[in-house]
Structure 1
Amino acid sequence: MLSTRFSVRALLRAAAVVAAGALMAGCAAQPKVAANDGISVDVNGPVKVALLLPYGTGDQGREQIARSLENAARLAQGDVQNATIDLVVYPTAGTTSGGAAAASQAVSEGAKIIIGPLFSTETAGAASPAAAAGLTLLSFSNNPSVAGSNVYILGTSFQNTADRLIAYGQAHGLGPFGVIYPSGLEGETARDAVREAAAGRGATVAASEAYSLSVAGIQSAAGPAAQALLAAGANGIILTDGPTGGLSFIADGLRSNGIDQDRGQFLGMQRWDISAEAMQAPSLQGGVFAAPDPTIVNAFNGRYRAAYGESPHELAGLAYDGVAAVGALIAEARSQGGSPFSTERLTQASGFAGVNGPFRFTASGRAQRNLAIVAVENGAAVVREPAARTFDTVGF
């Protein structure tokens, strides 16, 4: 059930996505954590919030991401109700030392909480000076290795996505599962997340096959991987790669080596709909992937385009979520007292309503996000199962 003051329905209004980061009602329990009452904050005046972004990298793509994140954060700043946020941007240059310098400057200038930075390396640099000052850091990273202590990650982790896919597969008669991943840290992290999610839900990962991320590497690995899947009887095949990697190539290779749709359902760990080419790939038709609820995301994207005349980067919503959540926490502290950034408030089971769907922070510093299951049908993304709107309806 949603509170009357902070409703997810507001996300779907054509005029604005006003309550996107506000608190939601919910009943699911969260693990207990050591008490942290948070730093003292004057919530009746402007609260200085630091926004750490990868400006100054010299890379055009990263500069564009930084601009998109800042634009989304400014939208959220304007939407905050019953609180005033003084949002100050600090460039990090995309480096560990840049993250540390930016966080140190933010602390010296009176920031009460830090949102960002983007990369796990920057986050690792920023965490120490923030912790020394008692500040919480809401990073845009999805790397769980930097979460914990004073760091919470806003990004959707592989563990979160894998859990959603395993749950979906079990509900639809799939199993045992297989996982196909590119060699390297990212692929291995995704593979381990699938294994962890399967173990947590009593499912079996019967086959696990890697491939080198090159055309030749995929071609040589596809046949043996398909044979391993067939021998193990794996009919839920989780592909961890994305459209900018080898997704379409490995899917084609598996299909051409005997894994037809009757023998294996493809389940995607990354969004496939960011690539029109991938959505048209014959091998991916009928497959599904886990993603933020498109209805909510599209509402945000439309509002962003109306404000800035361009589409947001796919990560922009994380900045909106972070700023809006901070605003909601300040507003709650104004009405109920105490520090807005206590551990109890940050990890409350009800979580927050974001422009990427509902999310909440765990005691480990990870973000749990309710994800939709999206199918590829005739080249189009079709929601097979919408994301749950509250946490009392999902099995975290």
Structure 2
Amino acid sequence: MAEAATVSQRANIIVRGFVAVTALLVSACSTVVPRGPTVPTGPTKAPPPVARPDVGVEAGIPRDTARNRVALLVPLSGTNAGVGKSLANATMLALLDTKNEQVRITNYDTATGAAAAAQRAVADGAQLILGPLLSEDVRAVAPIARRAGVPVLAFSNDTSVAGDGVYLMGYTPSQSIERVVEFARSRGVTNFGGLVPNALYGTRASTTFLRAVESAGGRVVALQTYDRTASDVSDAVNRMAKDAPFDAVLIADSAGTAATAVPLLRRMSPNAKVLGTELWNSDNGVSARPALNGAWFASVSNGLYRQFAAKYRARFGSAPYRLSSLGYDAVLLTARISRDWKVGAAFPETRLRSGEGYAGIDGPFRFGRDGVAERALEVQEIRNGSTTVVSPAPANFGR
């Protein structure tokens, strides 16, 4: 059965089923002087060293000739350890569920240095890397993996790090914004307003929002940015007053920030629809925020995720992080490809660009030419303390 092992240092490794090789003991030799007349001799010549047999012991983790080696690079210590351990648990659960015996996953802690973790993984023979989680870690890992010819399935949503052997599993804001804008336009929304934070996420969200509204045949009548403070959010909303009313307002931020802004927006546009992004799906309390009642947001489906979460809690005794499904789906993809992946051969990277895509907990997905996962998203509406699907995700990419 496939296993997962955590590697924190090269010399501190625990491997199931490994049988230690006992060192060969060599008996000491002594020289006996024969009895009889003393014969003058020169310096005593030492006997030649006894040749020790090669017992096959190597530094690092042992070779595995029966399975292909996959490395999981996630933070297992530090501030993001909770997410990293949840991802690691999810990959283990996927291996158990698929009963895959052709893949072996070893965990490496990126919190102590992503580049060092990648170098250890490559030295240990990894043929595929799952992770890292953070975009800056992907930037550190990518050139190391590229030189070794090892593809990377990263969990980041920063599209700037994708391509040239790096594939992104993360949920990108652009797809979520495009989907919710398209849905809003189909429900009669014409005039859009936007609130986005002064951050990289906000910059990219703004660009996507403008293009999506134009493509859908609508108009952006107001777009304001803000720093992530309550007072600055309030100021940004007040600046939108001159362009009110709106049919809908996109708030490209967390559900908490949106809940702060909505009461202010209602004063100028009482009937405006509130639109959110994929960030809301990672907030377990999003539906419990009264201010967001009636809001729409697009995300991956939660149907299969709920089943996964129940199984995860039963095995590990705690709830998973929402992002842990990325680890599970990465293993499902790997397990499917492993059917045609000869043990010891390089990972068949061309299979990642399969046009029909792959199925996972988060629904169907496929990688585009840019290496970013394209996902089938649904639109949910927040209604009186719960969420309801108002536009199901397409079953495939043929829509």
Q: 1:75 aligns with which of 82, 93, 104?
A: 93
Matched, 1:348 2:354: yes
Instruction: Give the superposition deviation at 1:198.
Output: 3.5
Residue aligning to 2:250: 238
Task: State the alpha-carbon separation in 2 of the partners of residues 252 and 303 from structure 1.
Answer: 39
Specify the code of the residue in structure 2 equivalent to 1:191.
S
Structure 1 residues 133 and 260: alpha-carbon distance in aligned structure 2, compared to 1, 3 A threshold: same
Q: 1:125 aligns with which of 106, 121, 140?
A: 140
Give the aligned length: 336
Q: 1:323 aligns with which of 331, 349, 360?
A: 331
SS in 2 for 1:86: strand
Structure 1 residues 131 and 289: alpha-carbon distance in aligned structure 2, compared to 1, 3 A threshold: same
User: Equivalences for 1:136-285 in 2 at 5 Å?
Assistant: 136-230=151-245, 234-244=246-256, 246-255=257-266, 257-261=267-271, 264-272=272-280, 274-275=282-283, 278-285=286-293
Q: 2:369 aligns with which of 363, 374, 387?
A: 363
Q: Is residue 52–residue 114 contact of structure 1 (8 Å, CA) maintained in 2? A: yes
SS in 1 for 2:80: helix
Specify the code of the residue in structure 2 equivalent to 1:309.
G
Task: State the alpha-carbon separation in 2 of the partners of residues 208 and 83 from structure 1.
Answer: 53
Spell out, residue by residue over 1:182-218, the C-alpha distance to the aligned partner (whole angstroms, 9 max, x if none): 2222222222222243345554433211122111112
Matched, 1:91 2:97: no
SS in 1 for 2:364: strand
Structure 1 residues 339 and 202: alpha-carbon distance in aligned structure 2, compared to 1, 3 A threshold: farther
Specify the code of the residue in structure 2 equivalent to 1:247.
A
Specify the code of the residue in structure 2 equivalent to 1:136.
P
Q: Is residue 164–residue 371 contact of structure 1 (8 Å, CA) maintained in 2? A: yes
Superposed CA RMSD: 2.4
| Greater relative contact order, per chain length (Cα 8 Å cut-off, separation 6+) | 1
Instruction: Give the superposition deviation at 1:243.
Output: 2.5
Task: State the alpha-carbon separation in 2 of the partners of residues 135 and 270 from structure 1.
Answer: 30
* Structure of greater Rg: 2
Runs of 4+ residues over 6 Å off in structure 1: 337-340
Task: State the alpha-carbon separation in 1 of the partners of residues 236 and 212 from structure 2.
Answer: 25
Spell out, residue by residue over 1:86-130, the C-alpha distance to the aligned partner (whole angstroms, 9 max, x if none): 100111117xxx111111111111111100000000000000010
Structure 1 residues 277 and 323: alpha-carbon distance in aligned structure 2, compared to 1, 3 A threshold: closer
The percent of aligned pairs where both chains have the same amino acid is 31
Specify the code of the residue in structure 2 equivalent to 1:344.
T
Task: State the alpha-carbon separation in 1 of the partners of residues 341 and 76 from structure 2.
Answer: 32
Spell out, residue by residue over 1:137-184, the C-alpha distance to the aligned partner (whole angstroms, 9 max, x if none): 000000001111111110011111112112212222222322211222
Q: Is residue 131–residue 152 contact of structure 2 (8 Å, CA) maintained in 1? A: yes
Instruction: Give the superposition deviation at 1:259.
Output: 1.4
Task: State the alpha-carbon separation in 2 of the partners of residues 153 and 280 from structure 1.
Answer: 31
Task: State the alpha-carbon separation in 2 of the partners of residues 125 and 64 from structure 1.
Answer: 21
**Structure 2 gap ranges (5+):** 1-63
SS in 1 for 2:111: coil
SS in 1 for 2:297: strand
Task: State the alpha-carbon separation in 1 of the partners of residues 220 and 348 from structure 2.
Answer: 39
Structure 1 residues 82 and 183: alpha-carbon distance in aligned structure 2, compared to 1, 3 A threshold: closer
**Structure 1 gap ranges (5+):** 1-42
Task: State the alpha-carbon separation in 1 of the partners of residues 381 and 253 from structure 2.
Answer: 16
Residue aligning to 1:7: none
Residue aligning to 1:305: 313
